């Protein structure tokens, strides 16, 4: 995959880099922030069954419910920005 910097306020605007991700076959094709609870809702149905079922917020979508918007944890964001800054330095040396 080739990534190109498009932020005009960045010193590396217009530069690009190639990024190769490892083949991952045992995981889904999307990323989920690990700091938020995946199945945070526990439901017990009224049909007489005693077991409970766990669901993620998007499985129980209700237009009248206000859910917390997805976001990147501040610590993870800081680590990502640090990694991008190191990447910028390596591009400057190239």
Tens digit of each residue's pLDDT (9 = 90 or more) over 51-82: 888 888 777 766 676 767 777 888 988 998 99
pTM of the model: 0.32
Look at residue 43 and tell me if it is in a domain: yes
* Whole-number Å distance between alpha carbons of 36 and 59: 15
Judged against a pLDDT cut of 70, whether residue 49 lies above it is answered with yes
Look at residue 20 and tell me if it is in a domain: no
Phi-psi region of 35 (alpha: psi -120 to 50; beta: other; left: phi over 0): alpha
Look at residue 28 and tell me if it is in a domain: no
Q: Which domain holds residue 42?
A: 35-94
Tally of domains in the chain: 1
Look at residue 90 and tell me if it is in a domain: yes
């Amino acid at each position: 995959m080739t990534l190109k910097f498009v932020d005009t306020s960045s010193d590396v605007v217009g530069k690009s880099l190639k990024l190769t991700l490892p083949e991952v076959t045992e995981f889904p094709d999307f990323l989920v922030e690990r700091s938020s609870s995946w199945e945070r809702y526990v439901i017990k149905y009224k049909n007489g069954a005693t077991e409970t079922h766990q669901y993620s917020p998007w499985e129980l979508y209700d237009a009248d419910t206000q859910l917390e918007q997805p976001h990147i944890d501040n610590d993870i964001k800081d680590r990502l920005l640090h990694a991008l800054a190191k990447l910028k330095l390596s591009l400057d040396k190239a």
